[in-house]
Amino acid sequence: MKFLGKEIASPFVLASGILGISASSMLRAVRDGAGMVTTKSLSLTPRAGHDSPIIAEFDGGLTNSVGLTNPGIYEGLEEVEKYKRETDAPIIVSIFGRHIDDFAELAKLVNQSSADFIELNLSCPNVEDEFSRPFALDIHKVGKIVASVSRVTTIPFLTKLSPNAPNIIDIAKHAEEKGSHGATLINTLGHGMVIDIYTAKPVLKNHFGGISGPAIKPLAVKIVHDAYKRLNTPIIGTGGVTTGNDAIEMLMVGATTVGVGTAVYYRGVDVFKALDNELNAFIQQSEFTHWSELIGRVHRD
C-alpha cells in the first residue's frame, strides 16, 4: 500500500512529539511495526519548553504541557539523515513557527533533506496574533502558511489541525485548496487541567495542557468522518487510538493511515506490533483481505 507515493508496511504512524527526534527511537518504532514515523515538531532555533511536571495522567488519557521542546531544525535534520540510512519507512518532519514566514523557511530546509514528508503543526501559540492564538484557529492564516509552503517545496506536506477550531473541516478544505497534500487530524484538545487533591494544586507545572488519549477518540473519529466527505487528499487519523479496534474505527470513517501517540505511553513502543496483530486478527475473521479495504467503509451503502 502506498501513502502519498511511498510504500508503507503498516497503517500505523508514530505521532509527533511522542518519541522525540532521535533516529534510534524512531527506528525502534519502525522495527516494532510502525509504517511511518513523525518527528517531534521542530522550530528554527532550539526551544527549552516548560518546566516539569509536563505530563499529567487522568482516567481517559493525558494532559501535556511539553511546550514544544526541541533542539531546532538543524540538529533534527541530522537525525533524519541517520534514520534514512537505516530504513525506507517514510519519515514525516513536523515543523512549527511562531511567525507565518517561519514555516516556509523551515519547509525549504526539510525539502533539501532526505525526509519523505513535512507536517505543519499549526497548533502552537503564534506571536502575530495579539491574543497569541494558534494559527490553526484562523482559516486565513492557515491558507497563507499552506500557500507559502507550497511555493517552496517539492515533497508532499500535510497540515495538522486543532479540534479547538469549530470550523476544522472548512479549514482542512481550505488548506487542501491552497496546496496541502493531506491532513493530520487531530492535535490535542483543550487545554484541560488535572488537580492533585492532596496538595490542592494543578499537577502540571504550567497548570494546564492539551488533552490526548482515549477521551478524545470519539471526537477524532467524528472529525475524520466529516473530513473524509470533504477532502480529496489522505488523512492521518490521530486521537486516542489504543487498540486494533480503535484503528479499525479510524480507518472505517476514512483515515488512510492511523496516528498513535498516547498509546505508546500506555503500552510501550511495541504497541505497534500489538496494533498490527490486533488489526490482522480482525481482517482474518472478516470478509476483507487487506486493511486498505477498510478505508472509508462507513460511507458506503
Catalytic residue list? 124
Q: Which stretch binds ligand FMN (CB under 6 A): 43-51, 64-72, 174-182, 194-202?
A: 64-72
Please state, in angstroms and rounded to a whole number, the distance separating the CA atoms of residues 181 and 177: 9
- In this structure, are residues 146 and 180 in contact, taking their beta carbons and an 8 Å threshold? yes
Should residue 126 be labelled a site residue for ligand FMN when binding is judged by CB under 6 A? no
Selected binder of ligand FMN within 113, 212, 233, 256 (CB under 6 A): 212
Query: Within 10 A of 61 (CB to CB), how many other CB atoms are there?
Result: 25
Measured distance CA(301)–CA(282) in Å, rounded: 21
Q: If binding is defined by CB under 6 A, does position 21 make contact with ligand FMN?
A: no
Binding positions for ligand FMN, 129-158, rule CB under 6 A: none
Rule CB under 6 A: say whether 202 interacts with ligand FMN. Answer: no
Q: Where are the beta strands (DSSP E) in the chain?
A: 2-3, 6-7, 12-14, 36-38, 55-58, 61-64, 91-95, 117-121, 157-160, 182-185, 189-192, 195-196, 201-202, 209-212, 235-238, 257-260
Give the CA radius of gyration of the chain.
Answer: 18
Q: Which stretch binds ligand FMN (CB under 6 A): 11-19, 23-31, 107-115, 125-133?
A: 11-19
102-134 residues labelled b (16+ CB within 10 A) or e (exposed): bbbbbbebbbebebbbbbbbbbbebeeeeeeeb
Q: Is 164 a binder of ligand FMN (CB under 6 A)?
A: no
Is position 239 an interface residue for ligand FMN (rule: CB under 6 A)?
Answer: yes
Contacts (CB under 6 A) with ligand FMN, residues 278-297: none
| Out of 17, 156, 234, 296, the residue judged to bind ligand FMN by CB under 6 A | 17
Cell numbers linked to 168: 476544522
Contact assessment for residue 2 and residue 8, using Cβ atoms and an 8 Å cutoff:
yes
d(Cα 42, Cα 179) in Å, to the nearest integer? 21
The stretch among 75-83, 105-113, 258-266, 289-297 that binds ligand FMN (CB under 6 A) is: 258-266
Residue 68 binds ligand FMN (CB under 6 A): yes
Q: Minimal distance in Å, beta carbon 124 to ligand FMN?
A: 8
**209: contact with ligand FMN by CB under 6 A:** no
Residue 30, judged by CB atoms within 10 A of its CB (0-12, 13-18, 19+), counts as: buried
Q: Does 241 bind ligand FMN (CB under 6 A)?
A: yes
* Identified binder of ligand FMN from the candidate list 43, 113, 121, 257, rule CB under 6 A: 121
What distance, in Å, lies between the first and last C-alpha atoms of the chain?
24
Closest to ligand FMN by CB, 213 vs 296, is 213
> Cell 477524532 maps to which residue?
220
Question: Nearer Cβ to ligand FMN, position 14 or 155?
Answer: 14
Nearer to ligand FMN, 8 or 241 (CB): 241
Contacting residue, 21, 44, 66, 95, with ligand FMN by CB under 6 A:
66
Which residues are near ligand FMN by CB under 6 A? 15-17, 40-41, 55, 62, 64, 66, 68, 94, 121, 160, 187-188, 212-213, 216, 238-241, 259-263
